[in-house]
């Protein structure tokens, strides 16, 4: 009998789509922070998208179809702050591919700006129509924490896991030893 490997945790495959220059600035801030295991997707035209790891430099992207990217993801998060920068056509394209593949589509607006002008109101209408979830937070750190939660939380390194297990084993031994003593 073969036993399946024990999965200690689940980590969602997340694609982040920056919405204009404000979205790219937020991605840079998140990359400088501690956000990992996220792929960044930008419009490459003609139903194509450029994709790279959050820590890869610009210019290291590969091009894939939006449909293929959506099929490889659990969740797509559209990220921005300045609503008139929202590329409505790309949002609709990404949303269609996500729906076709059963991918959760979320939006995170950080300190949202210009939502009251005509372009911003139109962009907000597109986001509300296309997204499964829309969250507004005050600062990039909150957006990073939110994305980490959606991803499945932070991962400990192998050394951290070994230290935690050793500490738990020591505590268990000390507890067992202490029970018999009066």
d(C-alpha 124, C-alpha 144), whole Å: 21
Residue 54 has pLDDT above 80, yes or no: yes
Residue 51 has pLDDT above 60, yes or no: yes
* pLDDT of 7: 47
Of 1-5, 32-36, 163-167, the range with the highest mean pLDDT is: 32-36
How far apart are the C-alpha atoms of 22 and 151, rounded to whole Å?
22
Burial code of 57-71, b = ≥16 C-beta within 10 A, e = fewer? eeeebeebebbebbe
Residue range 81-133, pLDDT digits in tens: 999 999 999 999 999 999 999 999 999 999 999 988 999 999 999 999 999 99
Report whether 15 contacts 73 (CB < 8 A).
Answer: yes
Mean pLDDT of 157-165: 56
Please name which of 101, 98, 100, 109 lies closest in space to residue 132, comparing C-alpha atoms: 98
Q: What's the pLDDT tens digit per position in 118-130?
A: 999 999 999 999 9
Q: Mean pLDDT score of the chain, rounded to an integer?
A: 84
- The answer on pLDDT for 35 being more than 90 is no
């Amino acid at each position: 009998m073969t036993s399946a490997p024990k999965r200690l945790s689940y980590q969602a495959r997340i694609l982040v789509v920056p919405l204009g220059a404000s979205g790219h600035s937020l991605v840079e801030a998140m990359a400088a922070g501690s956000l990992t295991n996220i792929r960044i997707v930008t419009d490459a035209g003609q139903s194509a998208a450029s994709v790279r790891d959050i820590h890869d430099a610009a210019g290291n992207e590969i091009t894939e179809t939006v449909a293929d990217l959506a099929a490889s993801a659990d969740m797509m998060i559209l990220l921005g702050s300045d609503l008139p920068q929202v590329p409505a056509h790309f949002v609709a394209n990404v949303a269609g591919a996500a729906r076709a593949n059963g991918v959760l589509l979320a939006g995170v607006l950080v300190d949202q700006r210009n939502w009251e002008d005509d372009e911003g109101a139109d962009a907000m209408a597109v986001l509300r129509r296309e997204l499964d979830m829309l969250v507004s937070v005050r600062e990039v750190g909150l957006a990073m924490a939110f994305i980490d939660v959606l991803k499945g939380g932070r991962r400990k390194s192998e050394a951290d896991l070994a230290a935690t297990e050793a500490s738990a084993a020591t505590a268990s031994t000390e507890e067992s030893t202490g029970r018999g003593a009066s």
